[in-house]
Structure 1
């Protein structure tokens, strides 16, 4: 069963790698999260202007990003028969490819005091971190390779996120090993959510029990 949208809890962000092979820009991931933040149980119908306002980018960029996301088969777009704008013109309805590997992104991402590029990069980086720390199997060069980006871009954005206080350098000392330099998410961004508030929809079973 697909993970249901939980209003006020999180936005699902699937693990997305090899952006170059999918012909995606890393900033498209911010548009994806902004778009999916409007997804509810009755569907997803935001206008380009609404998505742009939440992602804090231009309407024209949203239009191009959605086209790329569609070509990468991360979203499906079709005219909606359910809703129309005030001028009665068709409204797009969006559906999202189901994924079993995803991150839960808190809505506070949209209020973060970050540039579009830093905000997009921290979303791309999220899949390589645990709750706080960077997965020890990865270096920034590894992440750049996995994402299909240059090391220069990843390194620049990580340094910018450090300067803005969203990532910090830390020293980890594994047992019987040399100290290792690590990166850690700070508490400036809320990556933790309250599971106790999540209410899953009740699904009625279609299986009939035969007693005999």
Structure 2
């Protein structure tokens, strides 16, 4: 991801917030057979305060990715949406796409079966917590044999990235008036590619930049 100083996101707390709110990521590896991409949910490592993440892949994706032996790129995609040049007013302009994203790279550490079980348990708890009647991993009708068989079908990993590129492109190169108008159009749901989370992210960013002036 090409970086632009105007859009760089380097604050660890902000990237952690991005990961926490957007756990469904893309895993990319460069293998002898070419590039390989998979999609899985990850979590921040709850024993760390940095950008270390934990997750799992199903067998045999671990072998396909060379997991633990080669570099892994984790693409975290946050809110994004199309921005029409018509929202800038009567000026020469081209369309663009606003977004928040981060790329985490490094060689992951493979987890022990016990560590992997804990990560699987955390993943289930995280996403079941919003259900009316949550079903956690160890709850009936799941029994211990079922859960351990599930664990054996996966490989857990921990990635402490050695390279991080974060980008927050939210019209920071435009005037406050233009940014406000883009936000209004996004809140209206204008266009087929509107993301309801994007205008809130833009409002938050604009407020932060104003406060820093």
Q: Same fold (TM over 0.5)?
A: no
Q: More strand per residue: 1 or 2?
A: 2
Q: With structure 2 as the length reference, what TM-score do the two structures score?
A: 0.29
TM-score (norm 1): 0.29
